[in-house]
């Protein structure tokens, strides 16, 4: 069975691609620095401690955003696809592109609703994407980063959808139960 475009990213494939395409991606992986799901790499003379994820939205699913409670040294993400908005730089393997902190993978890098219908709801292209897992993850990530255009977009949604998304954002701000993802942590 063929895999869908959005679901075929696997963490082990991201690891393999990162090692194979170091020069094309403009990074150098440091030997002997792998710790669990993290690795040390350089880009333009800057050393990063990167976590390897299948999708950048897994940053929130694995509670890596909860740095106050979980002291880790992660300074960037290497992901199979960039489907969110993060506070750290993201290297997307599928596009071979670096995304700066708080940027999304959309043309124009904005979620601001451009067109509203008669009921005051957004009626633009992102509104169609928002109803998919990909678009939902982008909106959640932008809300987690506190982007004003994401809050404008949220206010155009029906009240029940707003409440559901607010509850999801609140849940993502808390550390998930269970064993944490194995990454390099601060030793204090």
Q: How do residues 103-124 score in pLDDT, each as one tens digit?
A: 998 877 788 877 777 777 777 7
Rounded to 10°, the helix 148-155/133-144 angle is: 120
- The rounded distance, in Å, linking the Cα atoms of 102 and 133 is 19
Question: Rg of the chain's alpha carbons, rounded to an integer?
Answer: 17
pTM over cut 0.75: yes
Which tokens hold the place of 14? 């991201």
Give residue-wise pLDDT tens across range 30-70. Answer: 999 988 889 999 999 999 999 999 999 999 998 888 877 77
Question: How do the domains of the chain map onto residue ranges?
Answer: 11-172
Residue 187 pLDDT more than 80?
A: no
Whole-number pLDDT of residue 67: 78
Which tokens hold the place of 137? 């993850």
- The rounded distance, in Å, linking the Cα atoms of 72 and 163 is 31
């Amino acid at each position: 069975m063929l895999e869908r475009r959005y679901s075929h990213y696997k963490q082990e494939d991201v690891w393999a691609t990162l090692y194979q395409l170091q020069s094309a991606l403009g990074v150098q992986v440091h030997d002997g620095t792998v710790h669990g799901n993290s690795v040390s790499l350089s880009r333009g003379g800057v050393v990063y401690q990167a976590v390897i994820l299948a999708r950048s939205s897994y940053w929130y699913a694995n509670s890596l955003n909860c740095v106050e409670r979980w002291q880790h040294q992660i300074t960037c993400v290497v992901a199979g696809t960039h489907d969110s908005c993060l506070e750290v730089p993201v290297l997307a393997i599928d596009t071979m592109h670096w995304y700066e902190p708080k940027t999304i993978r959309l043309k124009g890098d904005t979620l601001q609703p451009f067109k509203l219908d008669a009921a005051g709801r957004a009626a633009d292209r992102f509104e169609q994407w928002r109803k998919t897992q990909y678009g939902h993850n982008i909106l959640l990530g932008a809300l987690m980063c506190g982007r004003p255009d994401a809050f404008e977009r949220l206010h155009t949604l029906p009240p029940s959808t707003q409440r559901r998304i607010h509850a999801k954002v609140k849940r993502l701000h808390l550390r998930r139960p269970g064993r944490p993802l194995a990454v390099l942590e601060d030793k204090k």
